[in-house]
Chains A and B, each alone.
Chain A
Amino acid sequence: MKARHKRLAMIVAGLVLIAAAAVLITKSFRSNLVFFFTPTQVEKGEAPKSGNFRIGGLVEQGTLKRLPDGLRVQFKVTDTAKSMLVEYKGILPDLFKEGKGVVAEGSLNQDGLFVATQVLAKHDENYMPPEAAAAIAKAQANKTNTLSTENNK
């Protein structure tokens, strides 16, 4: 009797898990497989017209500013082709920086401003010590400098 109960419980647990997996898969395939839309996709109308969705891209250099109320921040999210203005009230993640990846969840208001309820930082797959990163940045700066001086000639 006991063994049979145990087996029954196992089968039920297995079925529940398979059902949960199926629900998750369909849920993912419907909307969440695309975790975010780029500003270009939003422009083209590929993002949901109403309700919440996520946008992703880079925080455009020099666009991050804190509004006078001291609580809200505004910044532009760009995919280098198109950009969108985002407003957010809350704590920004540690890796949030201008020029770095970001994913914001929220919705568009009437003025075309994206009001975010959550802001996530998306980092890249590069790992290196700060000195190496500084050296690379310096090398790139030199390269562009020499290029521009060559152009000036």
Chain B
Amino acid sequence: MDIVKSKSGINWLKYASPKTFYPLAGQLIPWFSVGAAVLIVYGLYLGLLVAPTDFQQGEGYRIIFVHVPAAWFSMFLYLLMAGYAILGLVLNAKLSHMMAKSIAPTGAMFTLVALVTGSFWGKPMWGAWWVWDARLTSELILLFLYIGYFSLQSAIDDTNRADKASAILAIVGAVNVPIIYFSVKWWNTLHQGASISLTKAPAMAAIMLKGMLIMALGFWLYSIAVILARVRCEIMERDSKAALFRQDI
């Protein structure tokens, strides 16, 4: 990091240094936390109280307000993690590796939530808790990739080597994400197609869509707050002798 710093005239990579990043993250976390709480409460209000009944699935469809945002972030956070892994390998930037490592638990959590809530949705609507169709199977593989990622991180003692090895796993595993997303198009699956896509009008009533998007935004701010807090822990663990933490202790 210091090499980059001394070489660049204007210090625009300043925020890539853990020393600068640590207090900045500390200042940002409360804002993201409050934003997440407000949006999630508003999303719950829209989803549970305001949104109308669905013409096919009755009240059972309300699971969509947690299931879909969780599923989106299970995939999006994986791509973000892989992105930071690439950055970490290419720039040899410690902070990028720390970001990647800090994203994994939240991504895994959302994957698990997507799988379990999907199960609670599938049972009454499809008639089965679980089926081995391409969508469900590839999402399960995503969970295994996350678990594999942090098993590898903790299995290797040397931090640098652990970062590099797990970064490679994260990058290779990223092929699974488009497979999950397009599985419902590429193969016959029990899981239905996407209601929301960039290429066509949403197949969803506006108020339902609004509730779902608000909830997703809430999950996004939650993820940012949690990940930043985790990066701070990571910085403290890796660089405990740095004096900058003393003020917090």
How far apart are the CA atoms of A132 and B133 in the complex, in Å? 31
Q: Are B137 and A24 in contact (CB under 8 A)?
A: yes
Q: Are A7 and B151 in contact (CB under 8 A)?
A: no
Instruction: Name the residue in B133, B195, B205 with the highest tally of chain A Cβ atoms < 10 Å from its Cβ.
Output: B133
Taking CB atoms and an 8 Å cut-off, the chain A residues in 50-104 that contact chain B are 56, 91-96, 100, 103
Q: Are A21 and B56 in contact (CB under 8 A)?
A: no
Chain A 92-125 near chain B by CB (<8 Å), digits 1 or 0: 1111100010010000000000000011111111
| Residues of chain B lying within 8 A (CB to CB) of residue A123 | 56-57, 125-126, 192
Asked if B134 CB lies within 8 Å of chain A CBs, one says yes
Q: Are B205 and A128 in contact (CB under 8 A)?
A: yes
| Residues of chain B lying within 8 A (CB to CB) of residue A131 | 52
Give the number of chain A interface residues (Cβ < 8 Å). Answer: 46
How far apart are the CA atoms of A148 and B140 in the complex, in Å? 50
Asked if A25 CB lies within 8 Å of chain B CBs, one says yes
Give the number of chain B interface residues (Cβ < 8 Å). Answer: 43
A35-B64 contact given A17-B144, A95-B125, CB 8 Å threshold: no
Q: Are B148 and A132 in contact (CB under 8 A)?
A: no
Chain B 27-43 near chain A by CB (<8 Å), digits 1 or 0: 00000000000000000
| Residues of chain A lying within 8 A (CB to CB) of residue B190 | 35-36, 56, 103, 120, 122
| Residues of chain A lying within 8 A (CB to CB) of residue B55 | 128-130, 132-134
Asked if A48 CB lies within 8 Å of chain B CBs, one says no
A35-B133 contact given A94-B124, A121-B127, A130-B53, CB 8 Å threshold: yes
| Residues of chain A lying within 8 A (CB to CB) of residue B155 | 7, 10-11, 14
Asked if A151 CB lies within 8 Å of chain B CBs, one says no
Q: Are A10 and B151 in contact (CB under 8 A)?
A: yes
Chain B 93-114 near chain A by CB (<8 Å), digits 1 or 0: 0000000000000000000000
Q: Are A122 and B192 in contact (CB under 8 A)?
A: yes
Asked if B171 CB lies within 8 Å of chain A CBs, one says no
Asked if A34 CB lies within 8 Å of chain B CBs, one says yes
Q: Are A32 and B133 in contact (CB under 8 A)?
A: yes
Closest to B205 in A: A128
Q: Are B127 and A120 in contact (CB under 8 A)?
A: yes
How far apart are the CA atoms of A27 and B152 in the complex, in Å? 25
Taking CB atoms and an 8 Å cut-off, the chain B residues in 203-243 that contact chain A are 203-205, 208
| Residues of chain A lying within 8 A (CB to CB) of residue B195 | 125-127
Asked if A147 CB lies within 8 Å of chain B CBs, one says no
Q: Are A32 and B127 in contact (CB under 8 A)?
A: no
How far apart are the CA atoms of A118 and B131 in the complex, in Å? 11
A34-B141 contact given A95-B57, A123-B56, CB 8 Å threshold: no
Task: Offer 24 A-B interface pairs, CB within 8 angstroms, sorted by A.
Answer: A7-B155, A11-B151, A14-B151, A24-B137, A35-B134, A35-B189, A92-B127, A93-B125, A95-B125, A96-B127, A120-B127, A122-B192, A123-B57, A124-B193, A124-B203, A125-B192, A125-B194, A126-B56, A126-B204, A128-B54, A128-B205, A129-B53, A131-B52, A132-B55
Other CB < 8 Å A-B pairs besides A91-B127, A132-B55, 7 of them? Answer: A10-B151, A13-B151, A95-B57, A126-B204, A129-B54, A129-B205, A133-B55
CB-based closest 7 A-B pairs: A93-B127, A133-B55, A129-B52, A14-B151, A35-B133, A10-B155, A125-B195
